[in-house]
């Protein structure tokens, strides 16, 4: 990981020791673990906007090269959690956190960690497709150019568009504006843009909610294809989508103090056939509220 | 309550399972009565009415499939619908066994039986009672009741073994009645299979409640 200064990041053990000394971690923390090596791990992670606690004591592991879905009612902290993973919340002045979030064992919030590098390695796709007001080619080339990624730019553009299953649609009109594409194509352009900077993880915040059903299914197919090479974390309000695409599903709910907490986390088959927590059962069967 | 329409649909499907179970119970009872009393008309009725039970099974299956497609059920709702699909299949197969007893009765003709049904009647009563209680366990989502019923299948198996031995003995003793006693062995076998299928129903009830798929009725052979 590229560091902002010459200072070495604290090792995980050192960081944990520091945290334990002034610990806000609960005595009985539970880390929910799906199968497979973890690329992101949260231990007692809480997120605050000023005095308001948006996330309370979240602990779980996100396995590599799988799709993990975050589901739950509105306001339960799913998007906050997602934005914490790539430090997008750093852009909110009142944001602060407690607990630990690591990426390959390195504390993501260590002062020596460069958040720009974090966001290169952990890309993001948003709910509303947001291509740059540039050509399709430039939409893809911008990221590698800014990040100093070497190589034949045309090859990088083609490779990224192919991985996003968009090349055949746009190969003859790369100079056209990205904004001229359909909604589904724009979203795939945004995915290609994220892929161009060679991330390891792709975060998707309700990537299909603005798309028609056919475009949605195409994005879902793409997600499954991308999961062979990338780790994907998706926030979705569509439980059937989570059931269709996710390998693992995390269910969050709002506590009485309005902080989001992780209620249950398991493989998707178990989550949707035999959830362990009644709150999960009530939510996914639509009896919630 | 949210999803009131879906809840209503689930309750209707549950009721249809009970109705089908009642048809099967009636078929079993009538088939054995026809055998005991040598009532050919009653036996023929059991055979003819099996078609209705088959149609009920397919109707129930179709409704389950439509509900799954349209409501995209999850968790306990999904398990219930899947359980109903399997239970409908088991009930239809039980009805086939009852129809088999009806056919045996017809094949025996109007002649009196060389000996009373005895334990065979009792086996049928027990199997019928097990069926009724298994469907109660389904409605009440009673895992323990379902497990208890599975244990009772051992009694039916023992009664079958005893009846089998007895009937073999009768064949040896009175070989002129070999056909009659062979038919009675088949009758015992049909009842024993009905009880086995009741345990399959109970396995699905346990699955519906717990999410665990488990073989309860392990063959002794």
ipTM given for this complex: 0.71
Separation between Cα atoms, residue B139 and residue B83, nearest integer Å:
12
Give the closest-approach CA distance of A275 to chain B in angstroms. Answer: 7
B218 has a pLDDT exceeding 90 = no
**Chain A partners of B75 at a C-beta cutoff of 8 Å?**
272-275, 280-281, 284-285
The strand pairing partners of A48, in sequence order, are A53, A96
Residue of A273, A275, A289 lying closest to B2 (CB–CB): A289
* pLDDT confidence of residue B192: 97
* pLDDT confidence of residue A26: 43
Higher-confidence residue of B8 and A21: namely B8
Confidence bin at B111 (pLDDT 50/70/90): confident
The distance of Cα A235 from the centroid of its chain, to the nearest Å, equals: 8
Tens-digit pLDDT profile for residues B41-90? 999 999 999 999 999 999 999 999 999 988 899 999 999 999 999 999 99
A243 Cβ under 8 Å from any chain B Cβ = yes
A287 Cβ under 8 Å from any chain B Cβ = yes
Separation between Cα atoms, residue A202 and residue A122, nearest integer Å:
6
DSSP secondary structure code for residue B112 in this structure: P
pTM across the whole model:
0.81
Nearest CA in chain A to B211: A274
The strand pairing partners of A232, in sequence order, are A67, A202
The distance of Cα B177 from the centroid of its chain, to the nearest Å, equals: 29
DSSP secondary structure code for residue B141 in this structure: T
**Residues A285, B77: C-beta atoms closer than 8 Å:** yes
Give the closest-approach CA distance of A278 to chain B in angstroms. Answer: 11
A239 Cβ under 8 Å from any chain B Cβ = yes
Under 8 Å between Cβ of B70 and B122: no
The strand pairing partners of A58, in sequence order, are A45
**Chain B partners of A273 at a C-beta cutoff of 8 Å?**
74-75, 78-79, 211
Tens-digit pLDDT profile for residues B136-154? 999 999 999 999 999 999 9
**Chain A partners of B1 at a C-beta cutoff of 8 Å?**
287
Separation between Cα atoms, residue A226 and residue A231, nearest integer Å:
8
pLDDT in tens, chain A (289 residues): 434 434 434 444 554 554 444 334 443 345 666 666 899 999 999 999 999 999 999 999 999 999 999 999 999 999 999 999 999 999 999 999 999 999 999 999 999 999 999 999 999 999 999 999 999 999 999 999 998 998 999 999 999 999 999 999 999 999 999 999 999 999 999 999 999 999 999 999 999 999 999 999 999 999 999 999 999 999 999 999 999 999 999 999 999 999 999 999 999 989 998 999 999 999 999 987 5
B78 Cβ under 8 Å from any chain A Cβ = yes
Higher-confidence residue of A286 and B27: namely B27
Separation between Cα atoms, residue A267 and residue A190, nearest integer Å:
28
The strand pairing partners of A250, in sequence order, are A70, A265
**Residues B78, A281: C-beta atoms closer than 8 Å:** no
The CA distances from residue A120 to A116, A192, A193, A282, B174, in Å, are 6, 13, 11, 38, 90
The CA distances from residue B100 to A239, B144, B193, in Å, are 47, 32, 11
* pLDDT confidence of residue B116: 86
**Chain A partners of B72 at a C-beta cutoff of 8 Å?**
240
Residue of B1, B2, B75 lying closest to A273 (CB–CB): B75
A272 Cβ under 8 Å from any chain B Cβ = yes
Separation between Cα atoms, residue A116 and residue A118, nearest integer Å:
5
The strand pairing partners of A203, in sequence order, are A124, A233
**Residues B210, A274: C-beta atoms closer than 8 Å:** yes
Give the closest-approach CA distance of B81 to chain A in angstroms. Answer: 12
């Amino acid at each position: 990981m590229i560091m902002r200064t010459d200072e070495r990041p604290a090792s995980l053990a050192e960081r944990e020791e520091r945290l334990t000394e002034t610990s806000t971690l609960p005595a009985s923390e539970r880390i929910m673990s799906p199968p497979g090596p973890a690329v992101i791990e949260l231990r007692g992670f809480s997120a605050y906007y000023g005095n308001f606690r948006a996330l309370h004591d979240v602990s779980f592991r996100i396995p590599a090269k799988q799709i993990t879905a975050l589901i739950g009612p509105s306001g339960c902290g799913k998007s906050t959690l997602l934005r914490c993973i790539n430090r997008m919340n750093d852009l909110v002045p009142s944001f602060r956190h407690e607990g630990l979030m690591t990426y390959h064992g390195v504390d993501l919030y260590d002062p020596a960690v460069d958040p720009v590098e974090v966001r290169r390695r952990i890309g993001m796709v948003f709910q509303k497709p947001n291509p740059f007001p540039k050509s399709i080619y430039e939409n893809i080339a911008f990221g590698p150019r800014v990040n100093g990624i070497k190589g034949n730019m045309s090859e990088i553009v083609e490779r990224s568009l192919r991985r996003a299953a968009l090349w055949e649609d746009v190969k003859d009109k790369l100079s056209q504006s990205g904004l001229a594409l359909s909604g589904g194509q724009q979203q795939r352009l945004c995915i290609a843009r994220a892929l161009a900077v060679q991330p390891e993880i792709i975060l998707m915040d309700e990537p299909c909610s603005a798309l028609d059903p056919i475009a949605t299914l195409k994005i879902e197919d793409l997600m499954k294809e991308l999961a062979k090479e990338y780790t994907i974390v998706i926030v979705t309000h569509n439980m059937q989508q989570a059931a269709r695409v996710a390998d693992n599903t995390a269910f969050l709910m709002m506590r009485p103090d309005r902080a989001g907490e992780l209620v249950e986390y398991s493989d998707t088959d178990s989550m949707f056939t035999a959830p362990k927590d009644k709150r999960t059962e009530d939510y996914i069967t639509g009896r919630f509220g | 309550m949210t999803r009131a329409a879906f809840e209503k649909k689930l309750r209707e499907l549950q009721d249809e399972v009970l109705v089908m179970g009642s048809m099967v119970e009636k078929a079993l009872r009538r088939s054995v009565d026809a055998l005991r009393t040598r009532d050919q008309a009653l036996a023929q009725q059991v055979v003819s009415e099996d078609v209705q039970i088959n149609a009920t099974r397919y109707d129930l299956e179709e409704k389950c499939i439509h509900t799954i497609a349209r409501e995209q059920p999850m968790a306990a709702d999904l398990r219930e619908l899947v359980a109903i699909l399997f239970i409908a299949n088991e009930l239809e197969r039980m009805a086939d066994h009852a129809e088999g007893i009806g056919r045996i009765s017809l094949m025996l003709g109007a002649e009196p039986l060389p000996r009373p049904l005895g334990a065979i009647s009792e086996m049928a009563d027990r199997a019928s009672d097990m069926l009724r209680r298994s469907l109660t366990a389904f409605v009440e989502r009673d895992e323990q009741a379902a497990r208890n019923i599975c244990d009772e299948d051992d009694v039916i198996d023992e009664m079958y073994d005893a009846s089998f031995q007895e009937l073999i003995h009768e064949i040896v003793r009175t070989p002129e009645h070999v056909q009659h006693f062979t038919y009675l062995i088949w009758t015992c076998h049909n009842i024993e299979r009905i009880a086995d299928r009741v345990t399959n129903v109970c396995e699905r009830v346990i699955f519906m409640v717990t999410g665990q798929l488990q073989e309860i009725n392990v063959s002794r052979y």
